[in-house]
Chain A
Amino acid sequence: MSFVGPAALCRLDDALLARIRRGEGLPRLVASAIVTIVFGAGAYGVAFGIWRGSKQAVFSALKLPTLLLAIAASTIGLGAMLAILLRSKLAVRQTVVCILLSLAVTAAVLGAAAPASILLVESAPLPDPSIVGLAITDPRAQPSLEVARGLLVLHVAVVAFAGMAGVIRLRALLTRLGLGPRVARRVLVAWMATQFFCGAELSWVMRPFFGRPHLPETLSCDDLLKGSFFEELATAARSAFGPFAPLLLVASVLVVAGVLAGALRERSERVTIAIGEGGLLVDGGPRTVAWQAIETITLSGRDVRLVLRADESFVRDVLTVACDDEEGAVGLARRLDEERSRVREGPFRTSAR
């Protein structure tokens, strides 16, 4: 199996997908993703640090790929477990490939944007070398700091765009690997949440990427291990909101937890079903629910609820069929029950599934 270039990774070629589905040549695929991350993110690292100086550009070129690989390394185990628990049916190796591919797409986009970013950065006024060592509040440092803030907004926008591209491609990858839309969404949310949580801290630990104009170029800052991203967030909230900060933080945490719980919870989804010979065709197939798999049929107004037999992970699916009116629901339920009973009673019918 050959090396896969960044273009093929971004396109998610059919051959690539078939390879992941079959689980063939995955180590090469992993290597391809890592190479893309190293060069793509490395290129943007140069764009990140070049304004501050050449040394900072080298440091950032090393640190940005390291950041992405560290995020992958620290979340892959949990990601694989969550994917299985969320019923994705992905093997651990496939999970590793999926996570690395999404980061590789992000890195490829970053690498592609690097030349344009470098051009824009190089067009900006250079930092004043005489302000190194001055306080951040010193008036002489303000012009360079203003330029730095503007460039930082540019970099944040590019990184956000690249991150979104990675997430969108990951969703497409999961869907094309055969995960249902609901499962794909839940897996995606779980992975993004863990990667954001871990990535925020790792990027905090590996700072600075951009480099402040009034400070010397450096690989890492002095207060590297004296706090965390979220503690800094709490400190910033305290200084901004005073006594209301704890309340605000608790409310924010609750909102985030609620949003996550809502996103991870399986919601009802409009699908169509058709009655086939061997069972129910959900959304016109390919999913077929065999008659024997229907454990109970219940009526609730215009809805017909079908509780399916628990699978090997002990999870029961519930299909709620919304009919036009109550009579329709009764008719559908009776029809389903009749079909199910017929299969139970006649052994020759069970072979039809």
Chain B
Amino acid sequence: MQAPLLPSGSLDSPSSERDDTTVTLERHDHDRAHAHAHATMTTGPRDANATSRSTATLEVPALGSGPIAVVEALLKSPASLLHAMRDGRGTLGRLSLVIAASIMIVGLVTASFGGGVQFLIVPLKMTLGIFVCALICFPSLHIFSCLSGARQSVRETWGALLMGVALMGLLLLGFAPIAWIFSQATTSVAFVGGLHLLFLALSTLLGLGLVNRTLGAMNQAPVRGLRLWGSLFMIVLFQMTTTLRPLVGAATGWALEGRLFFLTHWLRALGS
């Protein structure tokens, strides 16, 4: 099958502008071509006015009721959550519930290494810590996204952040059985602490990916500069694990320990 000679079209150039250059074409067999296919999360150009963009709308399954529906939507169809969030059907509250429940359970698993009163302290510390961390990073997320031209509301930014944190909590819950096995088999605080940090980092990376994609979907185009914000979020999260110490190991009471930078804490733990 051969393609006909084509007039200049309305292509999107790589620099996200229309390429109206007229090119004299010869007949080629374009209909069948070798292709490289790969998926990316954010690849579209920022120019929302590009005339060659398709305007078809995405059909989204409706969000069911209950926290399990939120869990399912987080994993399979975040678009349903975004849709429900814009309709204002208590989605933010349900997301917060999922975060609290999953982090509480993860906290119990983390506490199983130290035992005793840690079963009470660690889940509470971790749940509060994750919300405080989200609150601390929320203004920077909104401002950073606005700097790159995003137009979502403050509430929507908070929703995107909660979605990312909720996914992080769910993944930590998935890692919990493995973490529990290791924490029961060893007495090394540094090893178990390192393992929890590894799982936290992996879960956070995937959660940040969802924040990035959600903001991109809200704005119909990728939001640049979120990697920088993601690094900030990671630093705050790691510092929070040090500020709220000891999360792994024996309890030292409800009061916070002295000031300590997280890298110093890690080096000391490795040294001991």
Binding site for B on A (CB under 8 A): 73-75, 77-78, 80-82, 84-85, 87, 182, 194, 197-198, 201-202, 204-205, 224-228, 230-231, 266-275, 282, 290-300, 303, 305, 307, 309-324, 327-328, 330-335, 337-338, 340-341, 344
Q: Which of chain B's residues have a CB closer than 8 A to the CB of A311? A: 58, 79
Tell me which of A266, A282, A313, A323 contacts B38 (CB under 8 A): A266
- Contact, CB under 8 Å: B25 / A330: yes
With contacts A266-B39, A314-B79, A321-B35 taken as known, whether A197 is within 8 angstroms of B9 at the C-beta atoms is: no
Knowing A74-B177, A78-B178 touch, does A310 contact B217 (C-beta < 8 A)? Answer: yes
A-binding residues in B (CB < 8 A): 1, 3-4, 6-14, 16, 19, 23, 25-26, 28, 30-45, 50, 52-56, 58, 60-61, 75-80, 170-171, 173-175, 177-178, 181-182, 184-188, 191, 206, 210, 213-214, 216-217
- Residue from A74, A225, A317, A333 within 8 A of B11 (CB atoms): A333
Chain A residues with CB under 8 Å of B38's CB are 182, 266-269, 317-318, 320
* Among candidates B11, B12, B75, B80, residue contacting A334 with C-beta atoms closer than 8 Å: B11
Given the known inter-chain contacts A77-B173, A269-B37, A333-B11, please indicate yes or no for A323 contacting B30, CB distance below 8 A. yes
Q: A226-B187, A274-B31, A310-B58 are in contact. List 13 more A-B contacts (CB 8 A).
A: A75-B177, A269-B36, A271-B34, A296-B12, A309-B58, A312-B76, A312-B77, A313-B76, A316-B42, A322-B33, A323-B30, A333-B11, A337-B10
Establish whether residues A327 and B39, one from each chain, have CB atoms under 8 Å apart when the complex forms: no
B36 touches A225 (CB 8 A): no
> Considering the chains assembled together, what is the distance between the CA atoms of A247 and B241 in angstroms?
26
Secondary structure of the A side of the interface?
Answer: mixed
Top 8 nearest A-B pairs (CB, nearest first) are A268-B36, A78-B174, A292-B56, A314-B213, A74-B177, A332-B30, A334-B6, A337-B9
Q: Is the CB of A299 within 8 A of B30?
A: no
Q: Which residues of B contact A320 (CB under 8 A)?
A: 35-38
Q: Does A310 lie within 8 Å of B216, measured CB to CB?
A: yes
Interface Cβ pair total, 8 Å cutoff: 240
B82 to chain A, nearest CB (A): 8
Shortest B154–chain A CB gap in Å is 20
Q: In the complex, what distance in Å separates the CA atom of A322 from the CA atom of B34? A: 6
Question: Looking at the complex, which one of B8, B33, B40, B177 makes contact with A318 (CB distance below 8 Å)?
Answer: B40
- Complex CA gap A341/B77 in Å reads 29
CB distance from A172 to the nearest CB of B (A): 22
Provide the bound-state CA to CA distance between A267 and B6, in Å: 32
Contact status of A327 and B26, CB under 8 A, knowing A272-B32, A316-B44, A321-B33: yes
Q: How far is the CA of A327 from the CA of B175 in the complex (A)?
A: 51
Chain B nearest CB from A129 CB (Å) reads: 32
A333 touching B36 by the CB < 8 A rule? Answer: no
The complex places the Cα of A162 from the Cα of B38 at a distance, in Å, of 33
**Interchain CB contact under 8 A, B206 and A85:** yes
Quote the shortest CB–CB distance from B72 to chain A (angstroms): 9
Cβ of A108 to closest chain B Cβ, rounded Å: 25
Asked if A225 and B185 sit within 8 Å, CB to CB, the answer is: yes
The CA-CA distance from A270 to B43 in the complex, in Å, is 20
Closest residue of B by beta carbon distance from A70: B181
Task: Enumerate chain B residues within 8 angstroms of A305, measured Cβ to Cβ.
Answer: 14
Q: Which residue of A lies closest to B188 (CB)?
A: A231
A187 to chain B minimum Cβ distance, whole angstroms, is: 14
Q: List 25 A-B contacts (CB under 8 A).
A: A182-B37, A226-B186, A271-B36, A272-B33, A272-B35, A275-B31, A291-B54, A299-B14, A309-B58, A312-B58, A312-B76, A312-B79, A314-B210, A314-B213, A315-B39, A316-B39, A318-B40, A319-B35, A319-B37, A321-B34, A322-B35, A323-B30, A327-B25, A331-B30, A334-B25
